[in-house]
Amino acid sequence: MTRPRQQLLILYLANSDLGSPVGAWSFYDGAGNKTGMSGDSATPPYPTGLAAMQDGWRVIQLATLRPAQPGHEHETSYLKFEVVLEKLVETAGAP
């Protein structure tokens, strides 16, 4: 009996357009042991968020666009344009 398990691909885009270039990325593998590590890849898995969708990845979360706080308009911190995508993979894992 197979069980569906989740893989997550998180892409950080240049702007809020899903077709904009990928600048950072992470992969978390709930179906196996292929979870990525810091610095293990120099090339993004897809050139854009849209390219990942066209390859079967389902968008499950988009970063909300928030106005800058007054007085902090030019501060930067975390990556703004995070897109979380998933695939469900059938595995032979325990129920």
Partner 1 sequence: MTAALTGAAAAASSSIAARPLLTSAQMAHFVARGFLRFDGIVPHPLCAEALREIENNARPGSYGVKHGDARARLAGQPLDDVWNDPGGIAAVMRLPAIRGVVHSLIGPGALYDHHHAHTVEAQHRWSQPWHADAIIDPRAAFDIQLFFFFHDTPREMGGTMILPGSHLRRVHESDIARYQNFLGQLPMVCQAGTLLVCHHGMWHCGQPNFTRARRHMLKLRLNPSVPQRLTWDATDREAPEVRDLLTTPEPWHGNEGRLEIVNRLRLWRRLTGDDSFDADYWLTRLELPRG
**CB 50 → partner 1: shortest distance, Å?**
15
Chosen residue from 6, 41, 61, 91 binding partner 1 by CB under 8 A = 41
- Which position among 3, 6, 19, 23 is part of the footprint of partner 1 (CB under 8 A)? 23
Site for partner 1 in 49-68 (CB under 8 A): none
Instruction: Give phi and psi for 3, each to the nearest 5.
Output: -125, 135
The residue among 41 and 54 lying less far from partner 1, judged by its C-beta, is 41
